[in-house]
Chains A and B, each alone.
Chain A
């Protein structure tokens, strides 16, 4: 197996174009597991961890552009207040050691339906920046995943960054696992509220072939809250609305039975997480008004 260690982004892209079968490796928290379990023997690895641009984040046009190589630990520390939902998800990733090495770029690259970062990225309507020697394109996260561990990433492309607006309002993330830490999600859910524009974002993890939004639930909530003037003057959410929201989140999922949990339990857990996450986010909104977090 060849091992390439580019020092610049241009070199990395050139290598990927030259060796389309090569697998990029950053923190190695997913790739090395695949290698150790002999599930995947790529002909080459491209170690992108020494490319300085990937480890940077900055602001542009009211958006945050976060390099694919920023670790979960740095995400929590440096971007926690601006991206609270993603930071909550980042805190549930693995152990401190894994969070020190693992990256959102790697999470996206693996495209696992259980990736912890995916639901908050969906809820925040983030985009993924893909680059190759041919150029750069921006793909909405919702369109990025095409199946279990599959994405629109072309053979010569690398993930350079994700782009997302700072949280426009309260965000929440919760994840069910059968252990209190270091666990892959049995099911997860993220929500983001944008009181200024009257928008709701959601993300479902581990309950469908890909991470996905619950569009019907978003629309319901947006419509009901606008009709009742609740964005301007937040009042406690009616129980019926919480219930219907949870139902629509559940119906957006298509979970399976597997070694981590049953489909029936996943639906059950999603309904409860959806209800709880919405009520917490709404309580934040009522408490803090609709001041943006950035």
Chain B
């Protein structure tokens, strides 16, 4: 169902084709093991004499921590120790950007599930009993749980610094410009979970040098090491990390979860310590996607050209900072979508509350923005009587366009082309109208026999989105790769060593492909990712293939240069007369020197620390600046059948087009697009951590639903390969873009089928039939469309902290 289209591929490396090299569908080395159930995940780690760690967690979203009494737990046979914050020898707090989260609670707990104490015991069962036996006295405090109230200057402070973690301001052009056609709306995105299948787990082993060796499933070994070493009060050299088998990540493993706890217990007990979170604990053990409330006003000329966009975006970051600052930077800079807008005024807020901490998840701030701006584009199209694709194409950015940050888009930006491709893809045949055996499961309600065609209406929706690739806003973002080229018994062997984390996305496969193409070797060994080599940066932000390719290609290039030098010396000719062709040096007189001969003097090794081009911090008052490295674009068309009476949805087909610059591994690219689209489907239709008064109501896969195979439709994927001249091989990060536009496309299709505004995701059946409460009040009160409006005045969303809004108060809409 997928096609790869685009310009002819440039050949990799020095021009020769190598089997399973760059651009090939090389097989994952762990694929067969995973299918057969033989792959060792981090939860399978084992060491002789190991004990089991477990965590005592706060049942309260906010409480004063009065006392922790471990005596009863310590009396249980098989319990080795109980640790509290007093047992943290080094820095008592950790955090990805700012160390604001206690390793173990001190004085106050700020969210339900916060770690208060640790136990180590001989068995998981004993550890669990010991957790229950630790007596913790809490004095519950009033929790700050409403993000709109948390913004008010009078609000109770979650941290002494105040509740606003970041206020991002974007100002471009004239924020008070007038437009003849104005639409406004309020939108809400619920709290999505990454829902990886492999729970947090790891094994820490105390070392003879007083340090510790930690195997763990993570996205960023060196960021973990920095925080673990600080908490332990050890030099980083004494904290050694290696990547264990990762069962999915999607952002949820970028923050420290049990890393520090494991090492504290190992050093205290002098024994190897294993921890595995239960599924329920996992919901409390990692950050989630920020829930967001978004108010947008779009103004356009009568021909459909956007005149202005104003927006206010409020993201609930929960109790600790995690990556909220960066998420807000993305939400703000990407707030108007991949469109050219001359006048922009956006305020994006990231907040502290006593809700569950939120941080990185696939799409990282771009998801929430896209849900709102694409809904707005549909409303504008409706108001103008234009086709949604026509309106989007008219305003689409392209190479050379200006971002609202003032940054020039200096590589291909095929937004209109992607939209055209999904719009022209063949539509599915008309839906089944009479249930019979052949169509069972294909109607809304799936296997549950809720309709035989009654109430079913088909709808089609479109969306396009984009996402920055790599770390932005001036971050010093680099990746280290070490490559060794040596003679082996069956020919030359390249060994690639980096700390880049394989999460299932295929980094290990890609590393081998690049080394094969660049060095012309068949055999490549990819070493386990660990901290014996420098940081690879995070496997997140769609950056790891981009960054690792840059570093690895550079290292291989240096090795080739070294071999040319060796060849020149050996042949007694100038290097300039020599050329490299897949694993051989060609001399002027037809001489050929192969790798075995070139490696006779000994192996070659290079370590490269590679950076993408620098970015800038943005101006704090205007958001202007070259904040981003690269953008990744995708468009979706969704076709849905909706049971309009029961509010159930069956996605019939999703068509996707994405520019990937260069598909290093086309099969893996398709996997990312299928998976990303499905995760977006989940947000559209079912995935939400429901939080009430700071408490999670559904911490299980019984009630936190993710799509099953019966929920996932056929997908036609069109992959474009328009090279980015600034990127290694011209590639674009792939992983996040397909998640971003999938959600709004599906919701647009449901809107088309039902005629309802549906301003909130995930859609609930009660919303679809008009019985739900939603953002900005009940259906129809979420804003207004009209003509002759002004951007200022009634639409003024700027100027200080906004008033809290109760349900139903909706934006005023157009005022003549």
Q: What residues of chain A have their CB less than 8 Å away from a CB belonging to chain B?
A: 33, 36-38, 88, 91-92, 95, 172-184, 186, 259-262, 264-265, 268-269, 272-273, 276, 280
Contacts and interface: CB of A to CB of B under 8 A. Distances in A.
A182 B772 CA distance: 24
B452 A180 contact: no
A180 B708 contact: yes
B771 A178 contact: no
A179 B703 contact: no
A176 B280 CA distance: 25
Interface residues of B, number: 41
A199 to B, nearest CB: 22
Given A174-B450, A176-B448, A259-B697, A269 B703 contact: no
20 contacts: A36-B279, A92-B447, A172-B449, A177-B448, A178-B685, A178-B765, A179-B705, A180-B441, A180-B445, A180-B446, A180-B448, A180-B708, A181-B709, A259-B697, A264-B771, A268-B769, A269-B646, A269-B765, A272-B646, A273-B450
Contacts of B685: 178-179
B439 interface: no
Given A36-B278, A265-B765, A272-B646, A174 B448 contact: yes
Contacts of B278: 36-38
A268 B768 CA distance: 12
B702 A174 contact: no
* B interface secondary structure, majority: loop
**Which residue of B449, B650, B771 has the most chain A CB atoms within 10 A of its CB atom?**
B449
A33 B769 contact: no
**Which residue of A38, A178, A182, A280 has the most chain B CB atoms within 10 A of its CB atom?**
A178
Closest 8 CB pairs of A and B: A180-B446, A265-B766, A181-B710, A175-B448, A180-B710, A174-B449, A259-B697, A174-B450
A92 B449 contact: yes
Nearest to A279: B454
Contacts of A276: 450-452, 454
Contacts of A183: 448, 705
**Which residue of B650, B685, B710, B765 has the most chain A CB atoms within 10 A of its CB atom?**
B765
B495 interface: no
Contacts of B149: none
Interface string B631-650: 00000000000000111101
B764 interface: yes
A33 B278 CA distance: 11
**Which residue of B450, B697, B708 has the most chain A CB atoms within 10 A of its CB atom?**
B450
Contacts, number: 102
A179 B707 contact: yes
B449 A88 contact: yes
Given A37-B280, A176-B648, A262 B771 contact: yes
A259 B279 CA distance: 18
Given A262-B766, A280-B452, A176 B697 contact: no
Interface of B: 128, 278-280, 441, 444-452, 454-455, 645-648, 650, 685-686, 690, 697-698, 700, 702-703, 705, 707-711, 764-766, 769, 771-772
Given A179-B705, A180-B710, A261 B766 contact: yes
A179 B711 contact: yes
B761 to A, nearest CB: 13
Contacts of A264: 766, 771
Given A173-B449, A176-B450, A276-B450, A181 B128 contact: no
Contacts of B702: 33, 184
A178 B710 contact: no
Contacts of A174: 445, 448-450
B690 A259 contact: yes
A35 to B, nearest CB: 11
Given A174-B448, A180-B711, A265-B769, 7 more contacts: A37-B700, A174-B449, A179-B707, A181-B447, A184-B703, A186-B765, A269-B646
A180 B447 contact: yes
Contacts of B279: 36
A38 B765 contact: no
Contact of B764 (A178, A181, A280): A178
A37 B707 CA distance: 22
Nearest to B709: A181
A187 to B, nearest CB: 10
A99 to B, nearest CB: 11
A178 B705 contact: yes
B695 to A, nearest CB: 11
Contacts of A33: 702
**Which residue of A91, A176, A180 has the most chain B CB atoms within 10 A of its CB atom?**
A180
A83 to B, nearest CB: 15
A182 B708 contact: yes
A71 to B, nearest CB: 17
Contacts of A95: 708
B765 A179 contact: no
A60 B705 CA distance: 43
Given A38-B128, A181-B441, A175 B449 contact: yes
**Which residue of A36, A172, A260, A265 has the most chain B CB atoms within 10 A of its CB atom?**
A265
Contacts of B646: 176, 269, 272-273
